[in-house]
């Protein structure tokens, strides 16, 4: 019995020395931070954390990390004499509810303010319950609610506002070190944002901004930022709870990389500070003068149903702005996906907003086509002028498309007609060209202040 008591006493004496000592560093202290942002809402982050490592410490805690970290992407990079054994990541857990949970059945204070003097009065109480309503023991009585504000002495140590990375490590000797950390995180995105200014007829300027939005839960101070435009394949693992995402180094194995992708990168020349919740606009490129064209497009269709019922419709005339992404047009660069806002000038040379459209990733030497809106002074009507049923599945019909130009200058319009089934144009008042198996295009010049009619007869078989 005496031997057992002696053994228990020895173990209890050793317990304080068995607790792992730790060293803590905040992500806000990071140096040489680089943030590579993809336009799928994620980023690859590299940062160097200055910390004094000691053989006496066994745990490295990194606080203030993004809550959206992909924990299995974390890589604490080793160097000579420094070895990581394992790590775990804990998302932020600091909230009112979590604080009150930890003070359940513990002493708190309730404060009331004197209405006349405005001075506070404090009352010692015990928090008994936190479910929907609060229960307090105060002066040997239980209050199911209380008008006072709850005051606690401190935030419990285990609660943290940002993500917490806790790593077990070994180091050979005391050293002032820089620990490199790499990880993927969500909650940060970028998109192209363009300003297209139409200066004169056929001449424009273009600016492209990167619109960066940070919702990671942390700031990035003086970071080197690179933007990646492209489509990446990501193989997502099932969502399972991970206690340790990094195994012992001796157990690590390399894996064959199977995914490949192509992209364009836009390195930002100056360091950026991107605060949590901030949306920052950064100029990527611009051209002060380039050429463009304005197109008026009418799109309509002819179906078997329209061939044998009374038919008449008013068709909007769509206005498109087109330009070539070529060196000859002072561009010829990879244009990232984003919204293009189009501006023009009034007669008094005041800017006016003309419309906006979204473009996809556009490589050099491709054409950019933007839908600006519908024309006001060009009106189009289409009606059926004749119909003949040749058999149960074959019809002939004649149509008239009237184009009224109320402008003071002539305009060329594109009338794009979509035809279904097996079709044949029997006669037409204007020349057309076949775009594909089911589409033809007329391209008449409509004089100023005039009306022009396109007539054609079509045979459709189903």
Predicted confidence at residue 355, as pLDDT, reads 96
Predicted confidence at residue 233, as pLDDT, reads 66
Alpha-carbon distance 313 to 382, whole Å? 5
Residue 429: count of CB within 10 angstroms of its CB:
14
Four-point Cα dihedral 316, 317, 319, 323, nearest 10: 130
Contact 159, 100 (CB under 8 A): no
Predicted confidence at residue 14, as pLDDT, reads 46
Block residue for tokens 């709850």:
150
Length of the chain equals 462
Alpha-carbon distance 403 to 401, whole Å? 7
pTM confidence score: 0.78
Domains of the chain are: 96-151 (no CATH), 292-317+375-461 (2.60.40)
DSSP state of 249: G
Burial class (CB in 10 A: 0-12, 13-18, 19+), 90: middle
Alpha-carbon distance 369 to 297, whole Å? 12
Tens of each residue's pLDDT in the chain, 462 residues: 444 445 444 444 444 444 567 888 989 899 999 999 998 889 999 999 999 888 887 899 999 999 889 888 999 998 888 888 899 888 887 888 888 888 888 898 889 888 888 888 898 888 888 777 778 888 888 888 778 888 888 888 788 788 889 999 888 888 888 999 999 999 999 999 999 999 988 999 999 999 999 999 899 999 999 999 877 766 655 443 333 333 333 333 322 222 234 778 899 999 999 999 999 999 999 999 999 999 999 999 876 555 454 556 789 999 999 999 999 999 999 999 999 999 998 888 888 999 999 999 999 999 999 999 999 999 999 998 888 888 888 889 899 999 999 999 999 999 999 998 899 999 999 999 999 999 999 999 999 999 999 999 999 887
- Residues 293-306 as b or e (16 or more Cβ within 10 Å = b): eeebbbeeebebeb
């Amino acid at each position: 019995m005496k031997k057992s008591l002696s053994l228990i006493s020895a173990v209890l004496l050793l317990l304080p020395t068995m607790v792992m000592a730790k060293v803590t560093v905040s992500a806000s202290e990071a140096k040489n931070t680089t943030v590579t942002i993809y336009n799928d809402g994620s980023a690859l982050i590299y940062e160097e954390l200055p910390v004094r490592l000691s053989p006496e410490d066994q745990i490295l805690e990194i606080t203030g990390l993004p809550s959206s970290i992909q924990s299995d992407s974390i890589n604490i990079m080793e160097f000579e004499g420094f070895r990581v054994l394992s790590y775990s990541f804990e998302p932020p857990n600091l909230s009112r509810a979590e604080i009150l949970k930890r003070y359940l059945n513990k002493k708190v204070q309730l404060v009331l303010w004197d209405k006349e003097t405005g001075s506070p009065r404090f009352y010692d109480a015990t928090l008994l319950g936190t479910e929907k309503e609060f229960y307090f023991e105060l002066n040997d009585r239980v209050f199911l609610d209380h008008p006072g504000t709850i005051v606690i002495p401190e935030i419990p140590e285990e609660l943290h506002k940002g993500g917490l990375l806790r790593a077990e490590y070994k180091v050979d000797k005391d050293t002032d070190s820089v620990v490199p950390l790499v990880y993927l995180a969500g909650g940060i995105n970028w998109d192209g944002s363009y300003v297209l200014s139409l200066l004169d007829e056929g001449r424009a300027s273009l600016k492209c901004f990167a619109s960066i939005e940070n919702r990671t839960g942390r700031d990035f101070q003086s970071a080197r930022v690179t933007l990646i435009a492209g489509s990446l394949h990501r193989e997502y693992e099932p969502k399972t709870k991970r206690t340790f995402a990094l195994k012992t180094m001796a157990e690590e194995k390399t894996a064959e990389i199977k995914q490949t992708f192509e992209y364009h990168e836009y390195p930002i020349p100056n360091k950026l500070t991107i605060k949590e919740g901030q949306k920052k606009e950064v100029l990527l490129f611009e051209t002060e003068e380039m050429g463009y064209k304005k197109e008026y497009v009418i799109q309509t269709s002819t179906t078997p149903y329209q061939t044998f019922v009374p038919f008449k419709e008013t068709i909007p005339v769509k206005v498109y702005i087109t330009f070539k992404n070529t060196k000859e047009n002072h561009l010829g660069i990879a244009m990232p996906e984003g919204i293009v806002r189009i501006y023009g000038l009034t007669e008094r040379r005041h800017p006016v907003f003309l419309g906006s459209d979204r473009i996809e990733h556009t490589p050099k030497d491709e054409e950019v086509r933007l839908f600006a809106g519908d024309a006001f002074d060009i009106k189009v009507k289409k009606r059926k002028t004749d119909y003949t049923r040749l058999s149960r599945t074959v019809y002939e019909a004649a149509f008239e498309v009237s184009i009224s130009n109320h402008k003071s200058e002539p305009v060329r319009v594109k009338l794009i007609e979509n035809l279904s089934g097996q079709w044949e144009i029997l006669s037409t008042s204007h020349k057309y060209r076949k775009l594909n198996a089911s589409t033809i295009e007329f391209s008449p010049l409509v004089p100023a202040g005039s009306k022009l009619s396109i007539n054609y007869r079509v045979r459709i078989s189903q």
